[in-house]
Structure 1
């Protein structure tokens, strides 16, 4: 997995304004079907994980939980456990990097 490249891409998406961060805002954007990919910290709380995974599954939004909150926070410059990627180009590239 090209973890560092995926995190760099996440930081780039943040600077481009193509991310929504935080549990509630991400869930709201999932409901409005704007999110293309959800990144969930593996060390997030059980209720947060369940809520985000259930919403992602219901609305057929791919999600990944291969990063921890420290990695996500360093990549985007804010302490977060949940991040939604709004741009399909960034989402596809990040998925490609974490699956390789």
Structure 2
């Protein structure tokens, strides 16, 4: 008999596109190419370390506004994904719920954008 832990059961995603997005975010995190948390993302933008910002649909309006305005100023792409903050944290192995993550690698950024648009 095969047992599945609660977190695995809860992380089953709705469709293949979300699975691809989840996989690409996981690869980027294991490669050390993700920055998590609004303040760290904003601090990384002026250095040119951020290539893409992925914002959860549950992020507050103030957080979304802050990140999007900074992205526009620095010429960085930003996408909003239909993943709640708790699930985003769990899929990246975190105990907290980040409202946004930033991708620091151009290749990962392009693949994550493609996966989110599908």
TM-score, normalised to structure 2, is 0.78
| Structure 1: runs of 5 or more not aligned | none
Deviation, structure 1 residue 31: 2.0
Q: 2:36 aligns with which of 21, 42, 60?
A: 21
- Which residue is equivalent to 1:58? 73
Cα deviation digits, residues 44-98 of structure 1 (max 9, x gap): 1121111001101111111111132133212211221110000111111111111
- Which residue is equivalent to 2:8? none
- Which residue is equivalent to 2:87? 71
Aligned-residue Cα RMSD (Å) equals: 1.3
Measure the CA separation in 2 of the matches of 1:9 and 1:94: 6
Name segments (4+ residues, structure 1) moved above 6 Å.
none
Are 1:7 and 1:71, in contact at CA under 8 Å, matched by a contact in 2?
A: no
1:8 and 2:26 equivalent?
no
Which of the pair has the greater relative contact order for Cα pairs under 8 Å at 6+ separation? 1
Greater helix fraction, Structure 1 or Structure 2: 1
Q: How many residues align?
A: 100
- Which residue is equivalent to 1:45? 60
Are 1:41 and 1:68, in contact at CA under 8 Å, matched by a contact in 2?
A: yes
Measure the CA separation in 1 of the matches of 2:78 and 2:54: 6
Q: Secondary structure at the match of 1:9?
A: helix
